[in-house]
Amino acid sequence: MKTDSGIRWGRVVVAALASEAVVVAILILITTVYRLLVAPGKSAAEYQAFADLAGYYVAPATAGFAVFFSALWATRKLTFAFIANGTLVGVTAVLLTVGFLFIAKPEDRLMYGVSFGLRILGGYAGGALAQRTSSRRSPFLTAQQKA
């Protein structure tokens, strides 16, 4: 679905959902590797403590990168409004996760804010890179089409 403003809402939502799925998958992978290969035989409480710590430190950066690559995907066939679409991927990803802020421990709320900022920044950067590569590609395509 595309609007007159050039926002491809379908791609924006799919990209935001995909970015969140990547974050969850990476956290599951990290905790599974820890449990099976790094520290087998620990108690459930120790594994939970590690999972909490991994989520605190790994999830924000992972979310930023995941949104960046999702925004690149969402903007790959656009001819304009790259940054708007990319940034909206980040904003939508934040909207999907903002509810966790209200159930988070008070000491974790700052990291949620950092994570939200990195998601929006990742979306903006993905849209900006797509715009930059599109402007480099356009003259070549135009010259090639004329031949």
List the Cα angle 50/56/58 in 5-degree steps.
90
CB-based contact 15:89 (threshold 8 Å):
yes
Could you list the mean pLDDT of each consecutive 10-residue stretch along the chain, which spans 147 residues?
A: 74 96 96 92 93 93 97 90 95 94 89 95 96 72 45
pTM: 0.84
Only one residue has tokens 């990290």, namely 30
